[in-house]
A and B are shown apart, each in its own frame.
Chain A
Amino acid sequence: MIRRLGRLAAPLLFALAGALPGPAAAETETRFPASEHERTTLTIRAAADLDAMAPLIRDYQLLYPDVTVVYHEYVTADLFGEVQRACAEGRRSGGYAADVVISSSVDHLIKLANDGCARAHRSIETGRQPDWAAWRDEVFGFTTEPAVIAYRPDLVPREDLPRSRVELVDLLRRKPDAYAGRIGSYDITLSGVGYLFAVYDARAAATYGRLVEAFGRASLRVRCCTADVIADLEAGRIAIGYNLLGSYVYGAMRRGARLGIVVPRDYTLVLSRAAMVPVTARAVGDAFAFLDYLLSARGQRVSREEAFFFDRTGPLPPGVDGPPSLAAAGLFRPITVGPVLLAVQDRAKRARFLAEWRQSIGPQGQTGGPAP
């Protein structure tokens, strides 16, 4: 009964800021009003799709009906800048950004925690986290999102379907004309997740160089954000999207987009989107409660069923081609939530990596296609 009320309330949500997609839209704010007398307001600033987070927030409000949640959606780089600024100000004069910060660029949160901008939280739920999904009791990975190959089933014949990176490289060599300009991925100079996946691709296997080279020859179309690449796929401007966030692609698929998903069988990069409570948070107790909820069995179930669709140990969701599970033997390459991500954050490393990438992808990749 309550659940139905929650769903009925959903259309009442109102957006205060413009909902323009792309980097131009710096932030959008959405309120989830408390269903009972409002005790407190929990401010979440996140680099995560509202569509994915909304079911979790509403379920959280069933447990805490007196909490109003204000959700600000950002692109990762802006979020990082905002929280970093608030943290620096907070040391002097009570700067405040948010009670909970969520980002798919886990390296940003690790950098923030390393700089002392996060609050530690210990509970039964945090104690259950695997070592690779939490750091210092400050940054917690709460999702399981594989990097997948998305494709248009009608534009990619079944025999062409690449099930691993080597097969993708082979395909581009065998049929350069058919796929030239029809492969899409992130512009890793703009997308935090794209950069993270690319760096881990380079770390995970020796095939990275060949892959990027092949992309360069095939005139890779790059976009800032997952949604843009998916839009390109839906519009038929590209046939294959590489290294996309599996959760968003699956969400689009569930909403009726004609898409197919392949979880690569050579190795599976898995991002655990992370959350933290900044030192400058005001509703600290509620922020910790929200963290505990995200990590709890109930939060994980909602996440699997309605928000991010994948989990560590269970089978892949229906309609996804790939190994039996993400944690299948030998394939699982989690992006660990830990100090190693400081290497990803390194300025010199990033500059060098992006320079090499630009050089390989070439000028076509730089310009990309026109935004829809």
Chain B
Amino acid sequence: MIPDSVIPASSGPASAGKRAPSLLASSLFARLVAVLAVVLAAGAGLLLVAAWASARHAADEAYDRLLVGAALQIAETIASDGREITVDPPFSAFETLGLSPRDRIFYKVVDPADRLLTGDADLAVPVDRARLAAGPVLLDAEHRGQAVRAVVAGRYVPDATKAGFAAVVVAQTREARRALARGLTAEASLMVLAMSALALGAVAVAVRAALRPLGAIEGVLAARGPNDLQPLGLAAPREIHLLVASIDHFMGRLSGHVAVMKRFIADAAHQIRTPLTALAAQLDLLSSETDEGRRRDQIARLRERTAELGHLTNQLLNHAMVIHRARSASFDPVDVAGLARRTLIDAVQAAGSREIDIGYEGPDGALTIPGDAIALREALANLIHNALKHGAPGRLTVRLGRERDRVVLAVEDDGPGIPAGDWARVREPFQAAAGGGIGSGLGLSIAAEVAAAHGGELRFESHSERGFCVVLSLPDGAPA
């Protein structure tokens, strides 16, 4: 039923290259047409059955009239003189039956006592005299192995030895009825089939037309260069407008992602190149230095520089990882309280021998929000690290709390903080507050990225009595 041409010509190398599991699975057109063809075929089948039933009914009705007419004509000739009941089947009755020219005729006439007056003794059609008063009774029967249509008509004989209905039974084979029903059904079938074929053709044309915009999208995409991430800019019908919008949205995101990555790579290259150049220069100095004391100082500086470079590289990778996760990782329930405590303990070990008052203020139990545990941990670790490195001469507090529908994670220290004028700038990568050394430009940026990826924000607060405070404000995921 499905024509060969349903493989869209434009599907080209993709579908030709890898073997499709089946035509139905590979072609939208074939699937649609197949479903509609099945529906049409089922409909046509039902119609044909209905047509056959109604044709059979019509044929029966037409020939039943002849049958009843003949039986009544015979019944009319039943006469009684009080002693004997006679019957004289008229020619006209047989001429009436002869109007269905090929059918065999069987008949009998019986008196009220069921004695045969004339006709075929072996015609075994039941005579129900109780119903004869209401008129002739039609029924289907079998005679000598053939299906016959039979009628029983009665004539009341009041003066017989046993008063009651004399009965005329006339039966006729079904050839003419079958032929008429067949003819009517054939005509109806032709119409139904023609209509179905027409509908299927129309469906094929309509489906092809409806799928044409998909082909257009495909054409536009195929014609694109690999770096062209512009929106499609296609006018699409309502039903596939969403698809075009999704493609455009995806293109937009991809394009933004690529732009971020480009900028990051450029910045990272710049950030790594500068300390590498400095390292190379110091190595030169070291190789020409002869004084043992100065040489030791230079080696110590070199070690310090190398550690900073390692830290920077770590942060760059972390930053790349955070950006990547922000765009790809799925959110799971994360216990922020536990995470904050563990991160703080890790940070305390990193603080080493410095005298500093480190504290945690927040719930002892779990506080769960949807999020990416690894990214959140990284963000918090960076904030703590920043506070230890740049502020916090004597006190560092991590506070966890709720603000309406948000979970607020704050890192507070008693250091000088960041001037309010720099607050917007320091969220960007490599834009550390003035006076920062290498590797100081990414911590806040990573935290800001993570906050943004969780639908929250990073903000700064400066309290004269408590000190400087960096706040991660995250949605708690409860439905608003």
Interface residues of A (CB under 8 A from B): 113-116, 131, 135-136, 203, 338-343, 346-349, 352
Contacts A340-B94, A342-B94, A343-B94; is A349 near B104 (CB within 8 Å)? no
Complex contact A352–B86 (CB within 8 A): yes
Residues in A with CB closer than 8 Å to B98 are: 338-340
Query: Is B467 located at the chain interface by the 8 A CB criterion?
Result: no
Complex contact A339–B94 (CB within 8 A): yes
Complex contact A348–B117 (CB within 8 A): yes
Beta-carbon nearest neighbor of B78 in chain A = A348
Complex contact A339–B88 (CB within 8 A): no
Query: Is B383 located at the chain interface by the 8 A CB criterion?
Result: no
Q: How many residues of B contact A (CB 8 A)?
A: 23
Beta-carbon nearest neighbor of A347 in chain B = B118
Residues in A with CB closer than 8 Å to B144 are: 115-116
Residues in A with CB closer than 8 Å to B119 are: 346-347
Distance to closest chain A CB from B363 (angstroms): 102
Within 8 A of A (CB), among B62-108: 86-91, 93-95, 97-98, 101-106
Contacts A116-B144, A348-B118; is A136 near B102 (CB within 8 Å)? yes
Complex contact B93–A343 (CB within 8 A): yes
Give the number of residue pairs across the A-B interface with Cβ within 8 Å: 51
* Choice from A116, A339, A343 contacting B90 with Cβ under 8 Å: A343
Distance to closest chain A CB from B116 (angstroms): 9
Complex contact A349–B88 (CB within 8 A): yes
In the bound complex, how far is the Cα of B109 from the Cα of A346, in angstroms?
A: 11
Complex contact A114–B89 (CB within 8 A): no
Complex contact A339–B105 (CB within 8 A): yes
Complex contact B89–A346 (CB within 8 A): yes
Selected A-B contacts with CB under 8 Å, 29 pairs: A113-B104, A114-B104, A114-B105, A115-B144, A116-B104, A116-B144, A116-B146, A135-B101, A135-B102, A136-B102, A203-B91, A339-B94, A339-B97, A339-B104, A340-B91, A340-B94, A343-B89, A343-B90, A343-B94, A346-B118, A346-B119, A347-B118, A347-B119, A348-B109, A349-B88, A349-B89, A349-B118, A352-B86, A352-B88
State the majority secondary structure of interface residues on A.
Answer: helix
- Please name 4 further chain A to chain B contacts, defined as beta carbons within 8 Å, in addition to the given A348-B88, A349-B88, A349-B89, sorted by A numbering: A338-B98, A339-B94, A339-B97, A348-B117
Beta-carbon nearest neighbor of A338 in chain B = B98
Complex contact B91–A343 (CB within 8 A): yes
Distance to closest chain A CB from B120 (angstroms): 8
Distance to closest chain B CB from A296 (angstroms): 24
Residues in B with CB closer than 8 Å to A347 are: 118-119
Complex contact A348–B86 (CB within 8 A): yes
Residues in B with CB closer than 8 Å to A352 are: 86, 88
Interface residues of B (CB under 8 A from A): 86-91, 93-95, 97-98, 101-106, 109, 117-119, 144, 146
Distance to closest chain A CB from B76 (angstroms): 14
Complex contact B89–A348 (CB within 8 A): yes
In the bound complex, how far is the Cα of B119 from the Cα of A121, in angstroms?
A: 28
In the bound complex, how far is the Cα of B77 from the Cα of A352, in angstroms?
A: 12
Beta-carbon nearest neighbor of A113 in chain B = B104
Distance to closest chain B CB from A274 (angstroms): 16
Residues in A with CB closer than 8 Å to B118 are: 346-349
Beta-carbon nearest neighbor of A353 in chain B = B88
In the bound complex, how far is the Cα of B175 from the Cα of A135, in angstroms?
A: 13
In the bound complex, how far is the Cα of B101 from the Cα of A113, in angstroms?
A: 13
Beta-carbon nearest neighbor of A340 in chain B = B94
In the bound complex, how far is the Cα of B89 from the Cα of A348, in angstroms?
A: 8
In the bound complex, how far is the Cα of B109 from the Cα of A30, in angstroms?
A: 43
In the bound complex, how far is the Cα of B90 from the Cα of A249, in angstroms?
A: 32
Distance to closest chain B CB from A112 (angstroms): 11
Distance to closest chain A CB from B75 (angstroms): 13
Beta-carbon nearest neighbor of A339 in chain B = B98
Residues in A with CB closer than 8 Å to B105 are: 114, 339, 342
In the bound complex, how far is the Cα of B103 from the Cα of A334, in angstroms?
A: 21
Central interface residue in B90, B93, B104, B117, by most chain A CB within 10 Å? B104
In the bound complex, how far is the Cα of B105 from the Cα of A131, in angstroms?
A: 18
Distance to closest chain A CB from B118 (angstroms): 4
Distance to closest chain B CB from A130 (angstroms): 12
In the bound complex, how far is the Cα of B117 from the Cα of A348, in angstroms?
A: 7
In the bound complex, how far is the Cα of B88 from the Cα of A343, in angstroms?
A: 9
Contacts A116-B104, A116-B144, A339-B97; is A348 near B91 (CB within 8 Å)? no
10 tightest CB-CB pairs across the interface, nearest first?
Answer: A348-B118, A343-B94, A340-B94, A339-B98, A347-B118, A343-B91, A114-B104, A346-B89, A348-B87, A339-B105
In the bound complex, how far is the Cα of B88 from the Cα of A313, in angstroms?
A: 35
In the bound complex, how far is the Cα of B86 from the Cα of A339, in angstroms?
A: 22
In the bound complex, how far is the Cα of B58 from the Cα of A69, in angstroms?
A: 49
Beta-carbon nearest neighbor of A341 in chain B = B94
Residues in B with CB closer than 8 Å to A338 are: 98, 101
Distance to closest chain A CB from B89 (angstroms): 5
Residues in B with CB closer than 8 Å to A136 are: 102, 104
In the bound complex, how far is the Cα of B102 from the Cα of A199, in angstroms?
A: 23
In the bound complex, how far is the Cα of B146 from the Cα of A114, in angstroms?
A: 12
In the bound complex, how far is the Cα of B91 from the Cα of A72, in angstroms?
A: 33
In the bound complex, how far is the Cα of B98 from the Cα of A339, in angstroms?
A: 6
Beta-carbon nearest neighbor of B99 in chain A = A339
In the bound complex, how far is the Cα of B116 from the Cα of A347, in angstroms?
A: 11
Residues in B with CB closer than 8 Å to A343 are: 89-91, 93-94
Distance to closest chain B CB from A111 (angstroms): 10
Residues in A with CB closer than 8 Å to B117 are: 348
In the bound complex, how far is the Cα of B105 from the Cα of A136, in angstroms?
A: 12
Residues in A with CB closer than 8 Å to B97 are: 339
Distance to closest chain B CB from A340 (angstroms): 5
Distance to closest chain A CB from B81 (angstroms): 13
In the bound complex, how far is the Cα of B289 from the Cα of A312, in angstroms?
A: 147
Residues in A with CB closer than 8 Å to B102 are: 135-136
Distance to closest chain B CB from A228 (angstroms): 29
In the bound complex, how far is the Cα of B86 from the Cα of A343, in angstroms?
A: 15
In the bound complex, how far is the Cα of B146 from the Cα of A342, in angstroms?
A: 19
Beta-carbon nearest neighbor of A343 in chain B = B94
In the bound complex, how far is the Cα of B171 from the Cα of A292, in angstroms?
A: 32
Beta-carbon nearest neighbor of B145 in chain A = A116
Residues in B with CB closer than 8 Å to A342 are: 94, 105
